[in-house]
Chains A and B, each alone.
Chain A
């Protein structure tokens, strides 16, 4: 099955800083999602982005499916951005979403 790796595994930022999170996957995918999991465990869907670029406020995402990666950009980070960010591409053979290893982000005031 598809393998999904995210980098960096941990990231500490000062409030106001920008960051780029990366998701690499080992095989072709049909779709890809980015999620933010807050400290209470709630998973929030940030982007549904099989290809191309999307923006939502301070966040934007780019998926280049042919090169098997996706990027999540966070600009002007806030303490409420803290938590774990997961990417989840679909395995094109099984149509299952496979969650990556996650990036744990802490934003300091």
Chain B
């Protein structure tokens, strides 16, 4: 099984809402990533977890809060977002950091 799943596929939220994005993999990978992608741009790294510990935080605003409850799950908690945060949010995993990455289908987020 080389699949990374993400839920929900689409999310529309107001600026005062709190929501969470979920990512799951069952490949035994120990590194998991969150990326943000705006239209016609490359993915931008947000966070990296390695062995369930936050390894890299790319100076992401605190309205984005990552969580890695176990080695298979990665969450991204959202609160007080801005319209400019609307984007495709991609989750990925790899056996270790710098190994081959596998991406989920993404969550298309719209902030109104």
Contacts and interface: CB of A to CB of B under 8 A. Distances in A.
Interface of A: 30-31, 33, 35, 40-45, 48, 86, 88, 90, 94-102
A30 B101 contact: no
A45 B42 contact: no
Contacts of A44: 103
9 contacts: A33-B101, A40-B105, A41-B37, A43-B43, A43-B90, A45-B100, A86-B42, A95-B97, A97-B98
Interface of B: 37, 42-45, 48, 56, 88, 90, 92, 97-103, 105-106, 108
Contact of A41 (B48, B92, B102, B108): B108
Nearest to A98: B45
A100 to B, nearest CB: 7
A33 B90 contact: no
A42 B105 contact: yes
B48 A45 contact: no
B57 to A, nearest CB: 12
Contacts of B99: 31, 48
B45 to A, nearest CB: 6
B101 A97 contact: yes
Contact of A102 (B42, B90, B101, B108): B42
Contact of A97 (B37, B45, B102, B106): B45
B42 A101 contact: yes
Nearest to B106: A41
Contacts of A33: 100-101
B103 A96 contact: no
A95 B42 CA distance: 18
A99 to B, nearest CB: 4
